[in-house]
Amino acid sequence: MSRRSDAPGETSDVVIVGGGASGLSLAYRLTATGSPTVTLVAAPDGSLLPPERTWCYWERGTGDFDEAVAASWSRLRVHGADGRAVTVDPSPLRYRMLRSADFERLVHSRLARTPGAHVLRATADTVRDTADGAEVRCTTPDGRTLTLRARQVFDSRPLPSLPPARTQLMQHFRGWFVRTDTDRFDPAIADLMDFRVPQPSHGLAFGYVLPLAPDRALVEYTEFSRTPLTTAEYEKALTHYSRDILGLGAVTVESAEQGVIPMTDARFARRTGPAVFRIGTAGGATRPATGYTFAAVQRQSRAVAAGLRNGRVTVPAPHGRRALAMDAVLLRALDTGRIDGPGFFTGLFRRVPAERLLRFLDGDTSPREEWGIGLRTPIGPMLRTVVELPFLPRRPQPATRTGESPR
């Protein structure tokens, strides 16, 4: 039975803390199934609110968020360190880009039209279980304290530090939204990984180009390594990539995005009490070997909404055990330098059909298909890592600010 609420600050079936990718996605799915009353606590302007960012993912056919999708691509390209490119067609999957502000508008307008759904601009101070559910204490921008009560709370606030891990790398990057003087891009092809950039002494680096028009694109420089760079170092790498490798000529940088995404084999708790659940990156939704999170968030949000509609509270693991085990091996093999990162990823795109590879990254392949993919990786170093991993302790990791994206 629903507990109705006409104003935030009272009681609803569900409270979602955090209005980022996972909070918005869960709110969207809950309003789609129409059952529970829901309050989304979104941080007000200030240090807790990340700047606008882009979320890319692949999906077949027409998607739920198509009206907010900024661009999409039917072909993907990877450039090896040797300069040779492989272009693949992952159909029926299509690569899509959402701008966070557009997604937020879409979800907020849907919440505004849904009876019993509210967005509350407030800072969540504490989240805790109570005798009949859970409560969230918040502070509104004008300094009022509110206590929200709910049957369940789904909390997406970033963790203060990541859980202990055997391997912890970071996917860290900076990207420019550029405009060129002449047409330089093919809007049909997204460059997923371009390994022609100079490689760091530890980890790997690649360029990433998402064309938005013949003369506009998001051009990024990304590393998988232990430590983020300074903004000046990213700028230097981006200048080299866009000028000397892409040959873009004069570019106008219209805006920039920067971020750090954890790549870790840590175990994330999905439930912190009988009625309090963690979602999003804080709940382990980031795929360790790639940093992709958005698609897993969609799968999990759909499952949570379907469960609640049927009177069950289920928060399924965002990634399966096999996927996590394989990612742990890859992270360790990359971190130890046992495999050549650019060669590894380029080889996969050259040897595995693109649709299967993307399904693999979504955890949607059979053991037989995964075995086939495994055979296309450097078997010796991977096996050595498989043997070693069970004996390695999970150690506390140094705190690293993930997710920030200064302009």
Which residue ranges make up the site for ligand FAD (CB under 6 A)? 17-23, 41, 43, 48-50, 53-57, 123-124, 156-157, 257, 259, 261, 280-282, 291-294, 403, 405
Taking the complex as a whole, the smallest distance from the CB of residue 120 to ligand FAD amounts, in Å, to 9
Kindly give the pairing relationship between strand 133-139 and strand 75-79: unpaired
Q: Looking at beta carbons, which residue is closest to ligand FAD?
A: 20
Residue with tokens 């557009």: 102
Cα 122 to Cα 145: distance, rounded to the nearest angstrom: 9
Name the residue nearer to ligand FAD (CB basis): 124 or 178: 124
Name the residue nearer to ligand FAD (CB basis): 138 or 308: 138
Reference 290, options 380, 193, 212; nearest CA is 193
Cα 175 to Cα 223: distance, rounded to the nearest angstrom: 12
Kind and range of the H or E element at 399? Answer: none
Residue with tokens 């900076």: 174
Contact in structure between 6 and 144 (CB atoms under 8 Å): no
Taking the complex as a whole, the smallest distance from the CB of residue 202 to ligand FAD amounts, in Å, to 21
Taking the complex as a whole, the smallest distance from the CB of residue 135 to ligand FAD amounts, in Å, to 14
Taking the complex as a whole, the smallest distance from the CB of residue 136 to ligand FAD amounts, in Å, to 9
Taking the complex as a whole, the smallest distance from the CB of residue 287 to ligand FAD amounts, in Å, to 8
User: Taking the CA atoms of the chain, what radius of gyration do you get in angstroms?
Assistant: 21
Cα 126 to Cα 276: distance, rounded to the nearest angstrom: 11
Cα 102 to Cα 154: distance, rounded to the nearest angstrom: 23
Give every CB contact of residue 325 below 8 A, 6+ residues apart in sequence: none
Which residues make beta-bridge pairs with 208? Answer: 220
How many CB atoms are closer than 10 A to CB 344? 18
Taking the complex as a whole, the smallest distance from the CB of residue 292 to ligand FAD amounts, in Å, to 4
Cα 170 to Cα 259: distance, rounded to the nearest angstrom: 10
Residue with tokens 């309003």: 31
Name the residue nearer to ligand FAD (CB basis): 20 or 381: 20
Sheet with 189-194: list strands edge to edge: 85-88, 75-79, 189-194, 204-213, 216-225, 168-180, 251-264
Taking the complex as a whole, the smallest distance from the CB of residue 393 to ligand FAD amounts, in Å, to 27
The per-residue DSSP string of 263-307 comes to: EE-PPPPSEEETTEEE-GGGGT-S-TTT---HHHHHHHHHHHHHH
| Structure tokens that stand for 21 in this block | 């990718």
Taking the complex as a whole, the smallest distance from the CB of residue 64 to ligand FAD amounts, in Å, to 15
Taking the complex as a whole, the smallest distance from the CB of residue 175 to ligand FAD amounts, in Å, to 8
Name the residue nearer to ligand FAD (CB basis): 81 or 209: 209
Taking the complex as a whole, the smallest distance from the CB of residue 186 to ligand FAD amounts, in Å, to 20
Backbone angles phi, psi at 251, to 5 degrees: -125, 145
Name the residue nearer to ligand FAD (CB basis): 227 or 336: 227
Q: HSE on the CB side for 57, CA within 13 Å? A: 24
